[in-house]
Amino acid sequence: MTIQKILQEVFGYGEFLGPQQAIIEHVVAGGDALVLMPTGGGKSLCYQIPAIARQRAGHGITVVISPLIALMHDQVGALHEAGVSAEFLNSTLSMDEAAQVERRLLRGDITLLYAAPERVTTPRFLAQLDSLLERGLLSLFAIDEVHCVSQWGHDFRPEYRALTVLHERYTSVPRVALTATADALTRADILERLQLQDARQFVSSFDRPNIRYTIVEKRDATQQLLRFISNEHRGEAGIVYCQSRKRVENIADLLCDAGIAALPYHAGLDARVRQANQDQFLRSEGIVMVATIAFGMGIDKPDVRFVAHLDMPKNIEGYYQETGRAGRDGAPADAWMCYGLQDVVTQRRMIDESPAGEEFKQGLRGKLDALLGLSEVSDCRRVRLLAYFGEASQPCGNCDNCLQPPTIWDGTDAARKLLSTIYRVQQMSAISFGTGHIMDILRGKKTDKVTQFGHETLSTFGIGAGFSEVQLRGVLRQLIAIDAVNVNAQAFNTLQLNDGARAVLKGEVAVQLRASVSNPVERKARRSASVGSAAAKASAALDDLGQARFVALKTWRAEIAKQHNLPAYVIFHDATLSAIAERAPLSLADLQGISGIGAKKLDAYGQDVLRVMARA
């Protein structure tokens, strides 16, 4: 059976996406591959179709290594829905259930077996693989989320290191490794750690054109977030990332109080609560998950309409991976981030205080600065983002800067005034002071503290009166980023001059800043004209009768999903339901060829769908 036929019959899709075909052909033929594809690019089929093709050709089982135990149930469920024999082995199974899966494994009558890396590398499991290999029934290893092997990736997992056993012990078994994030450093690390130097690399464009990037300066973060959700994403599913567990809880409460259905998720919650919240997010519509970065890897919910960062993440890889969870279905989605001086200070402090070596810390600082740079740019965000991953592109027309170009101002003068003030204060008082006090002096405010220390007599007192506090904070952020100023975490976050200050004071480096854009009203008006809610979008082309059919289909789908204990999109995507509603099928033949309806689903649900159509 050709791979086209598998795509059509099993998954119900008419065409491959992007490089899928080339990858699948290579892997089916037994080649090793490293696949870099953005989230939503269709990585799963790159090992699922080879697994099916190779199993049918008598090569046996594909072992899928994934760190995502909490999602294996749904992933395997989705394969069952498509009529593919798949199982998982992890700690959620009872002894009996695991033993049953193992028996089937040893018989070789599973097409895909999902397991976590720590399970795969146990002596017991390796012995089972040995037995399969001896009988020629070990077909392929698929290593998902392979960036976990690298300490440069944003989600290093030591268990991944032990996966070297796969190529050492099973030299003849091909491997396909996949990830959605990897800058050059991470990529090189993956190749070396897993000895994949000879694997063919498939690097897709990392662009996600349907995602609109917006980065705003923090004023009152929670109000900004509320406005963003209420104005642009009411009733839609989204993820809000926060830096700490406590903040997650607070924000989830705040959103609920504002009438937005929100749930918390962080590593400090009881495992059962976490799983329940995740299930609810996946299975219901329009839930906002407020989470730490503990949430999200492998979440394949297609209709997440926005990802908001309420605090600045650590680096661009993390940011891109997290924002990538929006809009997997290709419909318009938002990546919104709010950042401020405090974020930079906090992140810097976490790096400074970490036990890592200095060289490693330097690497982390560089990555943080790249993200800060992205936040402060005044030209296209996407061009910058893609450039970070080594991809050249043109201004996108779908980011805040493209849509509403900010004005630039030259902050060099302000920067020098700020640095001089820090310097003079330190000289005069022999101690350092925090941001607020330095700003007060610069702007010529005679506060109690200022007079107490006699700082109104400094030659720099009031020389920055022409700048707003927002402007000065922007300047300070830049100065921290270029190491001209150090925020001393050990001494009440006081400001001190650092090595980079000299060049700025001497006028050798210019400090360019974006003027704050404060025009959210106009933005809102434009948005609501161009982008409606996702559900409206999926069914936008439908007339009234079509809409009624669409709604009836969704109700039916929710019922089936509940019976099968799976998320609704695993049964059919919105796009598939919309296509059915449009076609208004009268017979099974009418359903054939609709994207997302494979042979198994046609067989299992075709009559049901026709009945729903007859009644709607």
In degrees to the nearest 10, what's the CA dihedral of 401, 403, 404, 408? 30
Rounded Cα distance, 465 and 441, in Å: 9
65 neighbors 582 (Cβ within 8 angstroms): no
Q: Bridge partners of 211?
A: 333
Amino acid at residue number 549: R
The footprint of Zn ion on this chain (CB under 5 A) covers a number of residues equal to 5
Residue 372 or residue 597: which is nearer to ligand ADP going by CB?
Answer: 597
613 neighbors 97 (Cβ within 8 angstroms): no
Q: How far is the CB of 235 from ligand ADP (least distance, A)?
A: 22
Confirm or reject binding of residue 110 to Zn ion (CB under 5 A). Answer: no
Amino acid at residue number 355: P
Q: Give the residue from 81, 145, 79, 157 showing the smallest Cα distance to 113.
A: 79
Q: How far is the CB of 73 from ligand ADP (least distance, A)?
A: 16
Among 305, 382, 473, 477, binds Zn ion (CB under 5 A): 382
Residue 23 or residue 396: which is nearer to ligand ADP going by CB?
Answer: 23
Backbone angles phi, psi at 110, to 5 degrees: -120, 145
Residue 182 or residue 215: which is nearer to Zn ion going by CB?
Answer: 215
Residue 62 or residue 224: which is nearer to ligand ADP going by CB?
Answer: 62
Q: How far is the CB of 330 from ligand ADP (least distance, A)?
A: 8
- Helix (H) / strand (E) element for 496: namely strand 494-497
* CA angle 393–515–471, rounded 5-degree value: 135
Q: How far is the CB of 404 from Zn ion (least distance, A)?
A: 11
Confirm or reject binding of residue 514 to Zn ion (CB under 5 A). Answer: no
Residue 41 or residue 60: which is nearer to ligand ADP going by CB?
Answer: 41
The window from 78-86, 160-168, 331-339, 376-384 that contacts Zn ion (CB under 5 A) reads: 376-384
Site for Zn ion in 175-204 (CB under 5 A): none
Instruction: Give the count of beta carbons closer than 10 Å to the beta carbon of residue 580.
Output: 24
Confirm or reject binding of residue 82 to Zn ion (CB under 5 A). Answer: no
- Helix (H) / strand (E) element for 128: namely helix 123-134
The window from 238-246, 382-390, 433-441, 580-588 that contacts Zn ion (CB under 5 A) reads: 382-390
Q: How far is the CB of 20 from ligand ADP (least distance, A)?
A: 6
Residue 45 or residue 438: which is nearer to ligand ADP going by CB?
Answer: 45
Chain centroid to CA 127:
36
Site for Zn ion in 389-448 (CB under 5 A): 396, 399, 402
Q: How far is the CB of 109 from ligand ADP (least distance, A)?
A: 25
Rounded Cα distance, 612 and 393, in Å: 46
Q: Give the residue from 361, 338, 340 showing the smallest Cα distance to 349.
A: 361
Q: How far is the CB of 282 from ligand ADP (least distance, A)?
A: 13
Query: Which does residue 402 touch among Zn ion, ligand ADP, none (CB within 5 to 8 A, set by kind)?
Result: Zn ion
Rounded Cα distance, 67 and 143, in Å: 9
Across the beta sheet with 175-179, the strand order is: 86-89, 112-115, 61-65, 138-143, 175-179, 33-36, 200-203
Query: Which does residue 302 touch among ligand ADP, Zn ion, none (CB within 5 to 8 A, set by kind)?
Result: ligand ADP
The window from 289-297, 373-381, 558-566, 596-604 that contacts Zn ion (CB under 5 A) reads: 373-381
In degrees to the nearest 10, what's the CA dihedral of 539, 543, 546, 552? 70
Query: In the block, which residue shows the tokens 């960036």?
Result: 147
For strands 408-410 and 512-514, give the pairing. antiparallel
Query: Which does residue 396 touch among Zn ion, ligand ADP, none (CB within 5 to 8 A, set by kind)?
Result: Zn ion
Question: Which structure tokens are listed for 250?
Answer: 């607070």
Query: Which does residue 43 touch among Zn ion, ligand ADP, none (CB within 5 to 8 A, set by kind)?
Result: ligand ADP
307 neighbors 336 (Cβ within 8 angstroms): yes
Strands annotated E in 116-260: 138-143, 175-179, 200-203, 211-217, 238-241
Q: How far is the CB of 293 from ligand ADP (least distance, A)?
A: 17
Residue 18 or residue 462: which is nearer to ligand ADP going by CB?
Answer: 18
Query: Which does residue 281 touch among ligand ADP, Zn ion, none (CB within 5 to 8 A, set by kind)?
Result: none
Residue 148 or residue 399: which is nearer to Zn ion going by CB?
Answer: 399
Q: Measured over all CA atoms, what is the biggest interatomic distance in the chain, rounded to whole angstroms?
A: 88
Q: How far is the CB of 528 from ligand ADP (least distance, A)?
A: 27
Rounded Cα distance, 87 and 121, in Å: 18
Among 178, 380, 458, 495, binds Zn ion (CB under 5 A): 380
Residue 282 or residue 399: which is nearer to Zn ion going by CB?
Answer: 399
Rounded Cα distance, 252 and 216, in Å: 21
Residue 49 or residue 216: which is nearer to ligand ADP going by CB?
Answer: 49
Query: Which does residue 328 touch among Zn ion, ligand ADP, none (CB within 5 to 8 A, set by kind)?
Result: ligand ADP
Please give the residue ranges that form the binding site for ligand ADP (CB under 6 A).
13, 15-17, 20, 37, 39-45, 300, 302, 328
Residue 49 or residue 399: which is nearer to Zn ion going by CB?
Answer: 399
Contact residues for Zn ion (CB under 5 A)?
Answer: 380, 382, 396, 399, 402
